[in-house]
């Protein structure tokens, strides 16, 4: 999966995922959970906060699982659970930032090929996130799954991106962090796939991506692009 010397992607259109590809949702999510549970559990100093945060982080969306996670830590207090929920919801984008290389890489790629974004999630959340990060103007088009009524790995949302980009699947690349949603979806739609594996995870199985990279800068030589600066 890792690139070999001289290997290249052929792309007139490069599509990017958002969360944990361009911005660090992984750390933001844990920061929100740590603040929410840390404050709510002030009366329960024996609880292993980090273990609880990791258990809660296994489910990315919503708070319906908070009560079960707290019970697993020996806390059955509904008031504590509600405090955690309220704090978690208080700042949906707490600590959310772009990865340090994201802007430079997207700008460099955009000088070489057309770019676009495909992101899963509710429209209100993803559009606000894109506005907060200040990256909307980087992309000629951004597809949000709720607006398209198609969620990765459904190939329909990839087909719509190809239509907007004016290319066939063999001329497009999708760059994302999720094996299940990004890589599998791109493969099903016939696109070339690049897996962004920032945390050194093992490939979970199934058809591997065309390339694996540790951060977005590693994308540039695959496309034959030189970073500016």
Q: What is the 3-state secondary structure (H, E, C) of 56-68?
A: HHCCCCCCCCHHH
- pLDDT at position 184 is 98
pLDDT at 5 over 50: no
Average pLDDT, the chain: 94
Binned at pLDDT 50, 70 and 90, residue 8 comes out as confident
* Mean pLDDT computed over 42-62: 93
15: β partners: 116, 174
Q: Which residues of 61-74 are buried (b: 16+ CB within 10 A; e: fewer)?
A: eebeebbebbeebe
Whether pTM exceeds 0.75: yes
pLDDT at 4 over 50: no
* Mean pLDDT computed over 178-184: 98
| Token output for 66 | 């908070």
- pLDDT at position 166 is 98
């Amino acid at each position: 999966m890792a690139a070999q010397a001289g290997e290249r992607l052929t792309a007139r259109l490069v599509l990017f995922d958002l969360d944990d590809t361009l911005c660090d949702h992984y750390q933001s999510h844990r920061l929100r959970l740590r603040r929410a549970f840390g404050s709510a559990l002030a009366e329960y100093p024996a609880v292993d906060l980090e273990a609880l945060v990791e258990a809660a982080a296994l489910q990315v969306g919503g708070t319906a699982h908070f009560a079960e996670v707290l019970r697993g830590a020996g806390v059955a207090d509904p008031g504590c659970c509600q405090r955690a929920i309220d704090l978690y919801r208080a700042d949906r984008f707490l600590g959310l930032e772009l990865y340090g290389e994201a802007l430079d890489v997207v700008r460099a790629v955009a000088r070489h090929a057309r770019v676009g974004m495909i992101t899963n999630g509710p429209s209100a959340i993803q559009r606000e996130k894109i506005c907060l990060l200040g990256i909307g103007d980087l992309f000629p088009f951004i597809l949000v799954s709720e607006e398209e009524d198609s969620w990765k790995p459904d190939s329909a949302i990839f087909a719509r991106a190809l239509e907007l980009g004016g290319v066939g699947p063999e001329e497009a690349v999708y760059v994302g962090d999720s094996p299940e949603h990004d890589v599998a979806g791109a493969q099903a739609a016939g696109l070339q796939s690049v897996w962004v594996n920032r945390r050194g995870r093992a490939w979970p199985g199934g058809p591997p991506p065309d390339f694996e990279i540790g951060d977005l800068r590693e994308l540039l030589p695959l496309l034959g692009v030189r970073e500016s600066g």
